[in-house]
Structures are given as C-alpha cells and as structure tokens.
Structure 1
Amino acid sequence: MGTVRRAIAVIPAVPAVALVAVATQVLRAAHRSDLPSFPNQDPSGTFGDPGAPPLRIVALGDSSITAPGVEDLDNTWVRRVARALTERHRVELISVAVGGAQARDVIEGQLAEAVRLQPDVALVSVGANDALRGVPPERYRAELRRIIDRLEDTGASVVLYGMGDMASIPRLPPTLRRWATRRSDVFDRIARETAAASRRTVKVYTQGRVRTAFHEDRSLFAGDLFHAGDTGHAVFAEAALPAFEAAIALSRAHHNGG
C-alpha cells in the first residue's frame, strides 16, 4: 500500500518536472553566447501633416514592439503602420512597451501609464513570453481580459496582435518545436476569443503570412535568430494595418455616440 501511495504522490509532480525541463531549454535558447544580443528600442514618434486630425496610439507589450535587432527604427512594424495611417491622420505613437514583458508585467508596469495617456487606439502585443515561459493559459486569459477592459474603459479602441507560430524561431531547439506550436495555437486562440468578447477590440489576423512566412524565410529574423528583423517587421505591419483601420472606425463611432 505504501508503494501505491508513493506512486500516486509522484503523478502530480510529473507535469511540473516537464515544465521545468522545457523552461530550462527555452532559457538556454534565449541566452546563447555564440549569437548577438540587441538592445530594446523605443519606436515612439509623431508622423504626418500637423494640420491633419490627431490620432494617438499607445503601444503596450513586449519586444515585438521594442524591436531588438531591427537596424532602422523606421522599419519597425509599429512605425510602418503609423506612417500608413498618415493619409488621414497626424499620428502620435507612444510606446510604453518593455522587452521581455509578460501580461502580468503589462498590468503592473505599463497599464497605468497607458491609461493616463488617453489613447484613441491602444495596441496590445503581449503573450509570446507567457507562452514560452510556461504561464498557465487561463492565467493569461484573465490578465489579458483585465488589460483590455481597463483600456476600453478609457474610451479607446484596442488592437490586439496575438502571435504566429513560435516554432519558426530558429533559435529554439528542434525538441521544442511541436510544444511551441501547441502553445502558440492556444495563446493566439485566447487572444481571438478575448477580442470577440470585447466592446471595441480588433484582433490582428495572424494565421496567414505571419504564421507561414517565418517558417519559409529565415532572413526575416534578426541576427540573434530569435526576434524579427527589418523584413520580418514588414510582415507584421502588413497583417496589422487592417486591424488598425477597423479599430479607428470603432473609436470614431464610439466618440460620435454610435
């Protein structure tokens, strides 16, 4: 009987042990001394005709916004989107994003400042670090819900990026690729469901080129083989622009009493 009890006691520990092993592999992949390390950047700026109607975009999230490895700051996807919107707007882009952030970090370190800035459109791009570092999906769901509710309460509309397939990251060991795909699918689905249940949130479609292009073309990555490079950010921008246009329309309708 004692042997049975000991065996039962070990069963709950197995997932935790597996998670530690995965986390260790991810940590090793993220800190390879044979590859370069790039600083985070601030893509904030003002774009367009000063006489055009103003549009304030506040970006919250992780290194998908701070763009380590992008050589020309104007090639970051958020700046590409900002410039594309200047046909009708004077765009003020303000980033409060921090590289490496998880959803909990956004709540604790970015959300209050984003609310204070009173955006017309808030961009939320967070989740990859949660997925890679083993955050339980339902915790991510709850934290994402909290972020979006607080931003929408300001009157802003929200663009929620989500993610493609992190198995495409060259730096990840082959043993983690199936796991990374599963985690990507789960966390992107949570983002889709959260947006669908929101008042004024638009989810970027990430099941097209964002998902496939990085598998097909390794040159889309920066020299660290982990983050997207200049050409990779062009793919991000192409996918994001329709979501921003939809979010701007929602914001306009809300402020016009629609």
Structure 2
Amino acid sequence: MARLWRYGGRWALVYLGLMTAAPAQAAGPLIWALGDSLTAGYGLPPADGFTNRLQAALRQAGVPATVRNGGITGDTSAQGRARLLWGLRGLGVKPDLVILELGANDMLRGMPPSQTAANLDAIMAELKRRRIRVLIAGMRAAPNMGPAYARGFDPIYPRLAKRYGARLYPFFLDGVAADIALLQADGMHPNAKGVSIIIHRILPSVRAALRP
C-alpha cells in the first residue's frame, strides 16, 4: 500500500510500511540508505537494488542487519535534506547507521559545490545531534564538468567525514564508473553486475561503521 507524500514542493510515492512505527527494534542493526537513484535501485528489479543486495550480503557475512531504502531517483542534496526528518520518523525507530549517498544530481546539474556542501553539512549535523552514526558515500565530478568544478566538489565528502568523525567510503561508483559492462544503457546507473561490485567494495566499510 502506498500514498503520495508532498515535501519541498514535490510529490513522492511513499510506501506506508516505511511510515508506520515498528513495535520494537529488530534483532539486528537497522541501516537507512538516504540517497538518490543509486540507492533507490533505478532501472533494476527490487531484488537487484543496492539496499536489498547489501542486506543479503551483510546477512551472509553473519550480520543480521535490516537495510531500508531511503533513495529517491532524481533527488539533490537539498531534497534529501528536506525529507530527512520525516524519513527518520517513518523508520519508527532510530537507525544504527545512515548511509548518506547524495550529491550526484547536484553535480550533474552543475550546482555550486558550496550549496551541496551546505546541505550535506546540515544533514550530518542533524544526524550527529541525534547520535546516529553515518557512513558517507562520496561522489566525484564527471570529467566533462572540468577540473575547476572537481576541485570544489570532490573534497566535500572527505572534509565532512573528518569534521563529523564519520566513516568515509570515498566513491560510491568505485570500480563501476565508466565501465560499460557494469552500467545500464544510460551510462550512469549500475546494472546488476555493477551493483555486485559496489556491494563487494563497500561491505567492509559498512561492517566497520556498525562496530561500536
């Protein structure tokens, strides 16, 4: 069952199961992936999306985690910031970890890196205030954006990780970007094989971020 939810002047389809308070915390850790199309699983069957694959990989590794999908295709850092609070409320319980994966759409639209940095900083500050651990999944500027843009954009993620004492995964598409065998026809989003590479590479960082 789903309902249209309005935020930031936009409508988004939200599954009511994510907006209903759970009676109790799950036996294992709860992870919320707050992001855009890369965490939403754009163009893929649900079973092949990032969050489902990450949950399966964690459980196979002996970590009984639940991974909730907080990705919305097309979201910028500003839109992610706008839905942060109701997204946290929708989980019903405080997550043990938030994977923050935003900024790619800012870059693709040529938004000033200072705006992206300010939005991500606000998200990080709120999560720290709530004592929620964060794994920042970084992004890098596409080559066509030029070196000047990259100098302003790329350092955002390591700088915020250092400021807030968060764990950093430097580049979400590491090992996948620019490899047509691992991307969908649009040349931007990973296919099922690409998601497998992402999961394999990010899994140690997720496990480390879950440790006390």
TM-score using structure 1 length: 0.64
**How far is 1:60 from its partner?**
1.0
* 8 A Cα contact 1:120 1:155, kept in partner: no
- 1:58 equivalent among 32, 47, 50: 32
Task: Name the SS for the 2:68 alignment partner.
Answer: strand
String of CA shifts for 1:196-237, please: whole Å, max 9, x gaps: 1113x2111329xx445433x312111333322111112221
Query: 2:167: which partner in 1?
Result: 202
Identical-pair percentage: 25
Change (3 A) 1:197 1:55: same
Aligned ranges for residues 188-227 of structure 1 at < 5 Å? 188-199=154-165, 201-206=166-171, 210-211=173-174, 213-215=176-178, 217-227=179-189
Whether 1:152 aligns to 2:117 is no
Whether 1:98 aligns to 2:72 is yes
* 8 A Cα contact 1:56 1:121, kept in partner: yes
**How far is 1:84 from its partner?**
2.1
Letter in 1 for 2:170: Y
* 8 A Cα contact 1:115 1:154, kept in partner: no
String of CA shifts for 1:55-98, please: whole Å, max 9, x gaps: 1111111001112222x433223322222222443322222221
Query: 1:73: which partner in 2?
Result: 46
After superposing on structure 2, the runs of 4+ consecutive aligned residues of structure 1 that deviate more than 6 Å are none
Task: Name the SS for the 2:81 alignment partner.
Answer: helix
Task: Name the SS for the 2:135 alignment partner.
Answer: strand
* 8 A Cα contact 2:36 2:72, kept in partner: yes
Change (3 A) 1:90 1:223: same
- 1:231 equivalent among 193, 204, 212: 193
Aligned residues: 188
Aligned ranges for residues 109-188 of structure 1 at < 5 Å? 109=83, 111-116=84-89, 117=91, 118-164=94-140, 166-167=142-143, 177=144, 179=145, 183=149, 186-188=152-154
Distance in 1 (alpha carbons) for counterparts of 2:185 and 2:151: 26
* 8 A Cα contact 2:36 2:102, kept in partner: yes
Distance in 2 (alpha carbons) for counterparts of 1:159 and 1:114: 17
**How far is 1:133 from its partner?**
0.9
- 1:85 equivalent among 42, 48, 58: 58
Highest CA radius of gyration, 1 or 2?
Answer: 1
Task: Name the SS for the 1:54 alignment partner.
Answer: coil
Query: 1:22: which partner in 2?
Result: none
Distance in 2 (alpha carbons) for counterparts of 1:214 and 1:190: 19
* 8 A Cα contact 2:57 2:199, kept in partner: no
| Structure 1: segments with no counterpart, 5+ residues | 1-39, 46-51, 168-176, 253-258
Q: CA RMSD in A?
A: 2.8
* 8 A Cα contact 2:177 2:188, kept in partner: no
Query: 2:210: which partner in 1?
Result: 248
Distance in 1 (alpha carbons) for counterparts of 2:147 and 2:49: 25
| Structure 2: segments with no counterpart, 5+ residues | 1-12, 19-25
Distance in 2 (alpha carbons) for counterparts of 1:166 and 1:229: 19
Query: 1:36: which partner in 2?
Result: none
Task: Name the SS for the 2:177 alignment partner.
Answer: helix
Letter in 2 for 1:214: A
